[in-house]
Amino acid sequence: MAIYAISDLHLSFGTDKPMDIFGMHWENHAKRLQENWLRMVGADDYVLICGDISWGINLEEADVDLAFIEALPGSKILSKGNHDYWWSTAHKFSSHFELRGYKTLNILHNNAYKAGDYTICGSRGWKSPDEEGFNSEDQKIFNRELERLKLSLKAGQELGGEIIAMLHYPPFDSRHRPNAFAKRLKEFGVRTCIYGHIHGNANESWKDEWIDDIRYHLVSCNIIGFSPIKLR
């Protein structure tokens, strides 16, 4: 059993949102992702997908993208990104997945999952307070996501095992100084965290970076060559 990570798939099988408008490196990215995934990931492995999964605006529109992920090998743990407008309630996810016969998709939302000897926790996170335009509404979302991370980490503590954290937004400011999300991870003894959201101007070292005794991996799919990275 291995644990892989990737983020920002930005699938759009059910919508007209071609990603190559953001650069030719996105051309046929879903096919390239599929080929790399099939080459690397086995049925007994886990893949952590930390947000911006589908451009669908509701669960029905995103379903074709979810079906694409379901058909790939491994158990997948999905968390929310800022563009996942299709995200719904736990009850709706459960009902939809049962109706569609999905067996390998697991939604991370105020909870935690076991992945072999490891425990997977996380939340969406939010933009850092030093970001231009950060306002009082952003602060409310920031605080809410911080509480959701705490709920997930508490659930993870109860499950036991070394925690791997998933965030969509990086848990530090533009100068990579830890913010409240990073401090919460440290409070719960987290040593490994994956994040996405960033697509350009990324330093190569961000793919595997130590900050204050926590190992961070930037796993936005275009940054890592549309191929899941192996964490464990």
**What's the pLDDT score for residue 22?**
65
Is 216 in contact with 206 (CB distance < 8 Å)? yes
For residue 85, is pLDDT > 80?
yes
pTM value is 0.96
Structure tokens at 205: 């070292």
Where do runs of H (alpha helix) occur along the chain? 29-40, 59-70, 90-100, 136-159, 180-187
Dump pLDDT digits (tens) for 168-194.
Answer: 999 999 889 999 999 999 999 999 999
% of residues, the chain, pLDDT over 70: 97
Which residues lie closer than 8 Å to 206 by C-beta, 6 or more apart?
A: 198, 216, 218, 223
**What's the pLDDT score for residue 201?**
79
Quick one: pLDDT band at residue 97, thresholds 50, 70, 90? very high
Mean pLDDT of 71-80: 98
CA dihedral in degrees (215, 216, 222, 226; nearest 10)?
40
Mean pLDDT of 62-75: 98
**What's the pLDDT score for residue 21?**
55
Dump pLDDT digits (tens) for 99-142.
Answer: 999 999 999 999 999 999 999 999 999 999 988 899 999 999 99
For residue 161, is pLDDT > 80?
yes
Mean pLDDT of 63-73: 98
* Structural domains of the chain sorted by starting position, each given as residue range(s) with its CATH number in brackets: 3-230 (3.60.21.10)
Distances (CA, A) of 153 to 46, 175, 209: 19, 26, 22
Residue ranges of E strands in the chain: 3-6, 46-50, 75-79, 105-107, 113-115, 118-123, 162-167, 192-195, 209-211, 214-218, 229-230
